[in-house]
């Protein structure tokens, strides 16, 4: 293995992710594992130079204070115990010094955590886990699944089969990009499933947003299951689980961490073992990994996009004409933001199309057509958001393009509402 590791054992501290990041910022790789790691599990972890027992207020579970077992205390690996509850807080400087001295003096860890080393270690671990067997991946084209695909292609090539389900709710050019990058440039086994009609038929006449979400999610799983049944001899399912997914499903008790199951909500009874090579990476590290693996910037740095896709931006019951209008207007917005230096600056920007027509003038005649709403927001955690101050002349230019180029749209509105009172999406 190329990199040293400091292992953080979860004794119920909410500060584990922060601690992991602090040590990674020193150039040393970290992983967080449950407190009750067994001797075999510990032995299987490569390059462990030190162990930090990070306790906190949640250390007591069901009236019992949890602690690491003999596997840890008897391992001979240097240990540092940090206990948050009740102890007087250390100053930031003292804390940093204590950590540094533990990592570099006591453990003699080397600052060799970088993406190239991470990738070569993961390649080795994936090969070891998978052997000569076959792996299946649902490849949406989002950052996480794309990076997993690229990493697995590097590790096991054609032993990986990617399934891309086009549900008709992706942005303009996205399904084509998935095929181009993975099938043509990376030479992957890629099954492209055109499920557009199937999804749109299921969604026909459904206007309640939560029902729409549910239909899209359930149908996705069905299509994926059908495809996976057609394949033979698959033992592993790869998933783009990343560290924040695990944090969100609960780090407070060790149990919650262990019982975590990702992400696209794929059912457990598919009978596969999981391969989750990004599960210890934060989002910025996932992007760096994707870049190091040669994925295009437009894939690696793409803005957040909801799982149900344009389905929740074509408001109310989805119709094909409005779906096309929202896709085309979104493409124009993205093109203009890119041209005007806003692409990397604004956190999320898109168009939505309400089920609303208004009268306008087209070719000298009065005509009832749709309107499109532009949304452009900035946020840190998506819990609150502010509206980007988009230059007025750019908004006018985008309006002119959308009303000229997008069929059936005669008005463009700009959403000035922060979150709260609005949400980022319209439904």
Question: How many other CB atoms are found less than 10 A from the CB of residue 330?
Answer: 23
Q: Tell me which of 56, 307, 316, 418 binds ligand XMP, using CB under 6 A.
A: 307
Instruction: Please indicate if the annotation marks 140 as binding a ligand.
Output: yes
From the CB of 385, what's the least distance to ligand XMP, in Å?
7
Q: Tell me which of 265, 271, 304, 344 binds ligand XMP, using CB under 6 A.
A: 304
**309 scored as a contact of ligand XMP (CB under 6 A):** no
From the CB of 375, what's the least distance to ligand XMP, in Å?
10
**31 scored as a contact of ligand XMP (CB under 6 A):** no
Q: Tell me which of 17, 47, 141, 308 binds ligand XMP, using CB under 6 A.
A: 308
| Cα 276 to Cα 5: distance, rounded to the nearest angstrom | 18
Residues 197-216 that bind ligand XMP (CB under 6 A): 213
Point out which span in 34-42, 228-236, 258-266, 299-307 binds ligand XMP (CB under 6 A): 299-307
User: Which lies closer to ligand XMP via its Cβ, residue 53 or residue 333?
Assistant: 333
Q: Give CA separation, 355 vs 202, 316, 328, in Å.
A: 19, 6, 16
Point out which span in 38-46, 262-270, 394-402, 416-424 binds ligand XMP (CB under 6 A): 416-424
Half-sphere exposure of 279 (CA within 13 A, CB side): 20
Instruction: Please indicate if the annotation marks 142 as binding a ligand.
Output: yes
DSSP 302: P
From the CB of 212, what's the least distance to ligand XMP, in Å?
9
φ, ψ at 101 (rounded to 5°): -65, -35
Cis amide prior to 236 (ω within 30 degrees): no
| Cα 406 to Cα 413: distance, rounded to the nearest angstrom | 14
Instruction: Please indicate if the annotation marks 145 as binding a ligand.
Output: yes
Instruction: Please indicate if the annotation marks 406 as binding a ligand.
Output: no
Closest Cα to residue 346, out of 372, 325, 375?
A: 375
Question: In sequence order, what E strands does 93-246 have?
Answer: 134-138, 160-166, 189-194, 234-238
Residues 358-397 that bind ligand XMP (CB under 6 A): 382
Q: Give CA separation, 30 vs 77, 256, 263, 311, in Å.
A: 15, 20, 23, 39
Spatial contact of 116 and 218, defined as CB atoms under 8 Å apart: no
Instruction: Please indicate if the annotation marks 141 as binding a ligand.
Output: yes
**264 scored as a contact of ligand XMP (CB under 6 A):** no
Instruction: Please indicate if the annotation marks 85 as binding a ligand.
Output: no
**140 scored as a contact of ligand XMP (CB under 6 A):** no
Query: Which residues does the annotation place in the binding site?
Result: 140-146
Contacts to ligand XMP by CB under 6 A? 213, 304, 306-308, 348, 382, 419, 423-425
Query: Which residues does the annotation place in the binding site for ATP?
Result: 140-146
């Amino acid at each position: 293995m190329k990199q040293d590791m400091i292992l953080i054992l979860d004794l119920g501290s909410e500060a584990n992710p922060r601690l992991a990041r602090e040590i990674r910022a020193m150039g040393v790789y970290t992983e967080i594992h449950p407190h009750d790691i067994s001797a075999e599990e510990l032995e299987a972890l490569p390059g462990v130079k030190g162990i930090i027992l990070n306790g906190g207020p949640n250390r007591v579970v069901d009236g019992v204070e949890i602690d690491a077992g003999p596997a840890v205390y008897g391992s001979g690996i240097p240990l540092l115990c940090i206990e948050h509850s009740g102890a007087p807080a250390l100053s930031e400087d003292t804390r940093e010094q204590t950590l540094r001295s533990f990592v570099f003096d006591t453990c003699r860890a080397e600052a060799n955590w970088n993406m190239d080393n991470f990738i070569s270690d993961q390649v080795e671990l994936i090969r070891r886990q998978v052997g000569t067997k076959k792996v299946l991946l649902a490849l949406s084209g989002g950052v996480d699944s794309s990076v997993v695909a690229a990493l697995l292609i590097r590790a096991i090539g054609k032993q990986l089969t990617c399934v891309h389900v086009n549900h008709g709710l992706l942005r303009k050019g996205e399904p084509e990009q998935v095929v181009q990058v993975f099938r043509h440039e990376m030479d992957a086994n890629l099954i492209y499933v055109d499920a557009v009609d199937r999804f749109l038929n299921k969604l026909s006449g459904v206007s309640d947003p939560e029902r729409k979400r549910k239909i899209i999610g359930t149908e996705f799983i069905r299509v994926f299951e059908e495809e996976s049944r057609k394949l033979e001899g698959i033992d592993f399912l790869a998933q783009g689980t990343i560290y924040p997914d695990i944090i969100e499903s609960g780090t407070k008790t060790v149990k919650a961490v262990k019982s975590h199951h990702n992400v696209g909500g794929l059912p457990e009874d598919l009978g596969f073992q999981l391969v989750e090579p990004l599960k210890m990476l934060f989002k910025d590290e996932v992007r760096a990994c994707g870049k190091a693996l040669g994925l295009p910037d437009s894939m690696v740095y793409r803005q957040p996009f909801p799982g149900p896709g344009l389905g929740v931006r074509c408001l109310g019951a989805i119709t094909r004409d409005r779906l096309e209008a929202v896709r085309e207007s979104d493409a124009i917005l993205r093109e203009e933001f890119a041209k005007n230096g806003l692409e990397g600056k604004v956190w999320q920007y898109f168009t939505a199309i309400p089920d609303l027509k208004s009268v306008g003038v087209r070719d000298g005649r009065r005509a009832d057509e749709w309107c499109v709403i532009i949304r452009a927001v900035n946020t840190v955690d998506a819990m609150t958001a502010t509206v980007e101050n988009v230059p007025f002349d750019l908004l006018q230019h985008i309006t002119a393009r959308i009303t000229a180029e997008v069929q059936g749209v005669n008005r463009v509105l700009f959403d000035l509402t922060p979150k709260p009172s609005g949400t980022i999406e319209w439904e």
